[in-house]
Chain A
Amino acid sequence: MTDVLVLGAGIAGLACAGALVSGGATVTVLDKGRGVGGRCATRRVDGQPVDHGLCFLHGTDRGLLAEIDAVDAPRIPGWPRVVQGRGTPCHPAAFDPASRRVAFVDGVNVFAKHLARGLDVRTSTRVTALTLGEGEVTATTEAGETHTARTVVLALPAEQSSALLAPLPGLATARALLGTVATHPCWTIIARYDGEDDVLDADIFYPASGALQLVVHDSAKRARPRVRTLVLQARPAWSAKNLDLPVDEAVRQLVAEAAALLGPWAGAPTVTIPHRWRYARVDRGTGLAAPYLVALPGGARIGLAGEAFDPAGGAEAAFRSGRQLARRIAAGGVS
């Protein structure tokens, strides 16, 4: 039995777990994915990193910036340096003068790996049920393992946290809060091209209309030699409406829009890799201001953190909510 069980090894879960461990607690982190980071995700395509979730980090929070500075990996300060288009970025505050932006040459996931260093993280471990015991909560995994702790932190998309909490008694307020949060999906296409990977007019394009919210010149972040790679991400409304679109059709429509935006070359990728993020973006306006921690009858505690639990939005919100929740858990006595 550990002091705290954290579900979700995204930025929120890792930030929370790291702070708790620094304070002397024993913590286990479980994640259904193959690696850490959640949406702070990097794939390797023929050995070349591609950020197919969030494409750069940004923020003003001193704790976050200090942690970014501590990452032992080559970085590109100020990236994206040029953006184009009249569409709305996912987080307009990223382009405030006070906000710092950074990308990583080996992919944004190096930040998640940095946060996970020294933590007990079990990946490929999907929790299917939570049950309340005497002053403790037990998580049962798909493989039938159990993990028990007095405090369980759910650092998951609100919809997934809601589903796990549904059978537990006495959490009507937590469920009601989670019910106010909406997380939108995001259709994402990685597109690779032949030929020289010159500089484009911008690092990120935000078209004013159409299905695409942004087109990222991902390979601009990579060391040479590199293969020209774009990451196409569709708008929340389009993604929600077309979540079940056949892959070929989604690729066709989104690639055609990229070609209209960047030129015919962008319409002829040699490789396309689709990715459907089921829970990608917290609806601005549904987010909360702080993490949630509640004691259940008997003394067990449930904590909620994640991007939705801090007004900053994005990875900064995830990080801050995780850290803040860790402080509140520690203040209440860890074990």
Chain B
Amino acid sequence: MSDLEELVDRDRDHECAGLGADHVCVRLVGVAKLPTRFGDFRIAAFWNNRDAKDHIAIIKGEVRGHADVPTRLHSECLTGDALGSLRCDCRDQLESSLSKIGEMERGIVLYLRQEGRGIGLMNKVRAYALQDRGLDTVEANLALGFGDDERDYAVAAHMLKSLEVASIQLMTNNPNKIKQLEQFGVAVSGRLPHLLPPNPHNRFYLETKAKRSGHFIDLAARFPEQAEPVVVEGMDLDGLGTEPT
């Protein structure tokens, strides 16, 4: 039995007080090998008591009991992740984190299935439709279910606890994510900037965005699929609005 299969056994009757106001609790229900074009991983599937979504962890190497495990939180984005939409940078961000972690000795990508918080893709399309009409979308995005949500961090934090990771190094450009995870008891030993390697796709995306908004990174106009701005390697990090305000 592998180290993670033991945890599946352990979680069979797991029920705890849960994290956060919503008392989020998760169980590790299955682990299997997952060879990918980005490297050899294991995939771990989780049940949770809050939504009917199957949140997963994509795991490189041995992580149980290890400290400083590089970790990336990725929010599901069907249009970006699967369809290659250029309205967002989700696929670039996902591929970049998988290939980086794939080259490391160990690491985790938490793939959180939270598109649209319960209403899902329909609302994303409705949010895009409002954008297409040039309407202000910051408030509308909240009403449509897109915005930072405590529950997401509670799910992620419990998944990391269930995997018995001692501490993580979070791959993020958004230090607020660290605070959120720490609130739920995750030991965050460091931050790795999440830089995308330049490639024809994100260059096109960034140029398109620059043309449309007049800025490389326009936080206000940005649809917050991943709750953080894209940063391409070689870009000047200062003055791009990526540091905490």
Contacts and interface: CB of A to CB of B under 8 A. Distances in A.
B116 A173 contact: no
Interface string B18-52: 00000100000000000000000000000000000
Give the residue among B23, B140, B143, B144 with the most A Cβ atoms within 10 A: B143
A209 interface: no
Interface string A47-69: 00000000000000010000000
Interface in A166-189: 172-173, 176-177, 180
B143 A288 contact: yes
B130 to A, nearest CB: 6
A292 B140 contact: yes
A332 B119 CA distance: 26
Contact of B118 (A177, A294, A311): A311
Contacts of B116: 289
A285 interface: yes
B143 A177 contact: yes
A287 interface: yes
Interface stretch (B5-13, B89-97, B131-139): B131-139
A312 to B, nearest CB: 8
Interface in A287-314: 287-294, 304, 309, 311-312
For the complex of A and B, list the 9 residue pairs with the smallest distance between their C-beta atoms, beginning with the closest: A289-B145, A311-B118, A292-B143, A173-B135, A288-B143, A173-B136, A311-B119, A173-B140, A289-B119
Nearest to B116: A289
Interface residues of B, number: 20
A225 B143 CA distance: 48
A288 B123 CA distance: 7
B140 to A, nearest CB: 5
B140 A289 contact: no
A289 B135 contact: no
Interface in B50-107: none
Interface in B152-183: none
Contacts of A309: 143
A142 B144 CA distance: 33
B143 A289 contact: yes
Contact of A311 (B117, B137, B147): B117
Given A288-B145, A311-B145, A177 B140 contact: yes
A304 B130 CA distance: 18
B113 to A, nearest CB: 15
Which label, helix, strand, loop or mixed, suits the secondary structure of the B interface?
loop
A176 B133 contact: yes
B221 interface: no
A91 to B, nearest CB: 14
A172 B142 contact: no
Given A287-B119, A289-B123, A292-B139, A176 B130 contact: yes
Given A173-B137, A292-B140, 18 more contacts: A62-B23, A173-B135, A176-B130, A176-B140, A180-B126, A287-B119, A288-B145, A289-B117, A289-B118, A289-B119, A289-B123, A289-B143, A289-B144, A290-B147, A291-B143, A293-B139, A294-B139, A309-B143
Contacts of A172: 135-136
15 contacts: A172-B135, A173-B136, A177-B143, A285-B122, A287-B119, A289-B144, A290-B143, A290-B145, A290-B147, A291-B143, A292-B140, A293-B139, A309-B143, A311-B117, A311-B145
A35 B225 CA distance: 43
Contacts of B143: 177, 288-292, 304, 309
Interface string A3-42: 0000000000000000000000000000000000000000
A292 B122 contact: no
Interface in A218-249: none
Contacts of B144: 177, 288-290
Given A289-B118, A289-B123, A173 B145 contact: no
B45 to A, nearest CB: 20
Among B122, B140, B147, the one with the most A-chain Cβ atoms within 10 Å of its Cβ is: B140
A288 B124 CA distance: 11
A180 B133 CA distance: 14
B137 to A, nearest CB: 7
A304 B140 CA distance: 11
A288 B127 CA distance: 11
A294 B139 CA distance: 7
B139 A173 contact: yes
A152 to B, nearest CB: 16
A43 B163 CA distance: 55
Contacts of A293: 139
A299 to B, nearest CB: 15
A290 B145 CA distance: 6
Interface string A172-211: 1100110010000000000000000000000000000000
Contacts of B133: 176
